[in-house]
Amino acid sequence: MKRVYFTLTLMSLFGGLNAFATVTKDGVVYDKMSDGKCFVVGYDEATMPTDGIVTIVNTINIDGTDYTVTGILGGADYTDYNNNGKTGDDRAAFFNCKKIIGLRFADGSDVTLIGDHAFKSCTNLKTIENIPSKLTEIKKWCFEETGLESIDLSNTNVTIMQDGVFFNNKSLTSIQLPNKLENFWDNAFKGCTALKNIAMPSTVVGIYNSVFEDCTSLSNVTLKEGCTTLGHHVFKGCPFTSFTFPSTLNSIGEYAFENTNLKTVDLSNTQIKNLPNGSFLNCPQLSDVKLPIGFTYIGNHAFKSSPIASITFPPTLEKIDTWAFQYAHFKNVVIPTSCSAIGEGAFSENDNLTTVFINGVKCYLAVNAFANCGNLKDVYITSNDEPNAERYGYPFKNNSADLTVHVVPNYLDTFTKLVTCNAPKFDSNLSLTLGKEWTTLTSAYNLDFSNVEGGLIAYTAKYNKDNDAVALTPVKKVKAHTGLILKGEAGKTYTVPILASNEEGLDEATDNQLVDCVDAVWSTGRDNDYFLSNGKFVKSKNHGWALPGKSYLYINGGRANKSESPLRVYVDNTATAINGITTNPVVKDEAYYNLQGVKVQRPQHGVFIHNGKKVVLK
């Protein structure tokens, strides 16, 4: 009995008979696993080749039987395998091997698995040759902190870059990814400071947390359609200046692009619904951002310290959280009607900000929401609801004494007495500075153009299919949300009275075809949508947001003759013969034109345009 007990104790101590069956060939130790598979299980520096190039053979004879080598042991593989008393990462086959310089697989290798931590801390390992096409799995932290300079995995069957698989490979300059790759798990390439380019295969779906964080040489990333997920910190600290966001993308993690050199961010064709905390924090070259349809939320510090000068908030936006745009470079901001909250400091320290429109019906403005914006002069609160103290948390701290908050006259007195809305002045006027002689406008206020000093004129517009032209009709007292065309003096500032929200006697504009853009409108019907440009209506060639506060012409069914030329315009229902908007007195020539604007050399019987007026020749 004592003899049997002693034998069992030895077997237990050395992890079973496998511990006595290892075979070493050219510095590589092989053994049979408990399931009968043959793995590389370790190394022997004393018998390794002097050049440091280690070859993994295809078959090895163990106890008189030839076994096919199918894997390289990892630290967590085969928990019943003791590997001569080593535990944890030390059990991984080449863990901390400093003598290995190159790894080579024999032709036709059947290796399918390289285990976790298998080559961790092999700081002199620079090359891997003849990587098996049958390779399906490279486990986590496998090549952490190696000296690899480049690697080609393109012909393998690997579908996942597992956690930390190439973590902190500071010499890695390039990698050809597996053609069937689907996901990158956390930290896969984090700290690969020499990595310059990444071309993703079309099969990639997800790139998760910190995958390329602190890849400080990564200047080019090509991401294909099909990718849906970018995780937290995924590209933090990467220096690339441009990035193409695929239309399939539906998730971006926290601090995903923090400290990158992006110049523009175009999410307009993606499926993104929100941007979480710090997603584009401190991007020092970021000037322009485009958001998608259906977008609802901007998180804490999302664009803080990024000098954004241009952004259009979609009408679906519900909340802008704390410090989201602190230190941005906006000149104008329009908060859409559905937005219910602007967080603490959200737009603070915006030195270029001059004008803010808050269309949110019951939008809460938190403490310091627009604080320390030294050039902020006009804030328009367009809500028709009676204000109360709970909707304001002292949002205008430390701004200019010239700051005026413009509100509907119904509640001017209420606003003036509202301590929590801490603006120095309140009134009920809209200040307009025209950039050009002709421009467009839509307002959430009822407006009175009857006696505007300086002769500012407002028009509605309708397309006339018979004449393939647009008729403008002047209006005086205009209902809120009416698309308008304005004519005035370029560079001049006009003051337009805001009418009460319950004002009576407003002009009816039932045939107006100018689209209401109080909030931004996504324009996709390009055969139907015409935009005013340099005094002419032209068809835009691109999908995108029609700017809030503007308007554009929508022609149901498109133009009659499908022409690409700019649309002619009627003023006061009298046609001009000139493309673009021209008032009657401008037309001074003696020529005759037919109603299609074509010059007639010898007019006889009929209706013509002469000196800008309609005449009948009998």
CA dist 542 and 244 (Å) reads 17
CA dist 463 and 461 (Å) reads 7
Instruction: Please provide the size of the chain in residues.
Output: 618
Q: 409 by DSSP, 3-state: which?
A: helix
In degrees and rounded to multiples of 5, residue 390 shows phi and psi of: -70, -15
Least confident of 222-231, 351-360, 434-443, 550-559: 550-559
Contact 159, 185 (CB under 8 A): no
187 torsion bin: left (phi>0), alpha (psi -120 to 50), beta (else): left
In degrees and rounded to multiples of 5, residue 175 shows phi and psi of: -150, 135
Q: So where are the chain's domains?
A: 1-148, 262-427, 432-582, 588-618
Residue 117 tokens, joined:
């931590």
For the stretch 258-281, what's the b/e string if a residue is b when 16 or more beta carbons lie within 10 angstroms of its beta carbon? Answer: bbbebeebbbbbbbbebbbbbbbb
CATH number of this structure's domain 1-148: 3.80.10.10
**Res. 579: pLDDT tops 70:** no
CA dist 230 and 212 (Å) reads 11
The pLDDT of residue 467: 81
The pLDDT of residue 510: 81
CA dist 134 and 119 (Å) reads 19
Least confident of 265-279, 421-435, 565-579: 565-579
CA dist 77 and 570 (Å) reads 81
The class that CATH gives domain 262-427 is: alpha beta
- pLDDT per residue over 185-243, tens digit each? 999 999 999 999 999 999 999 999 999 999 999 999 999 999 999 999 999 999 999 99
The pLDDT of residue 592: 58
Least confident of 74-88, 124-138, 185-199, 279-293: 74-88
β-strand pairing of 229-230 with 251-252: parallel
**Res. 61: pLDDT tops 50:** yes
The pLDDT of residue 436: 92
Q: Kindly report the CA angle at 285 between 283 and 286, in degrees rounded to 5?
A: 70
- pLDDT per residue over 476-529, tens digit each? 999 999 999 999 999 999 999 999 999 999 998 888 999 999 999 998 766 789
Q: How does residue 535 score in pLDDT terms, banded at 50, 70 and 90? A: confident
Residue 420 tokens, joined:
């929590």
Average pLDDT over residues 279-285: 98
**Res. 416: pLDDT tops 60:** yes
The DSSP 8-state label assigned to residue 109 in this structure reads: -
Q: Kindly report the CA angle at 394 between 389 and 397, in degrees rounded to 5?
A: 160
Q: Kindly report the CA angle at 609 between 608 and 612, in degrees rounded to 5?
A: 165
The pLDDT of residue 601: 54
The pLDDT of residue 412: 97
Residue 31 to residues 9, 34, 69, 88, 113, Cα–Cα distance (Å): 22, 10, 9, 18, 15
**Can you say whether the dihedral through the CA atoms of 323, 327, 329, 333 is positive or negative?**
positive
Q: Which residue has the higher pLDDT, 279 or 511?
A: 279
The pLDDT of residue 12: 37
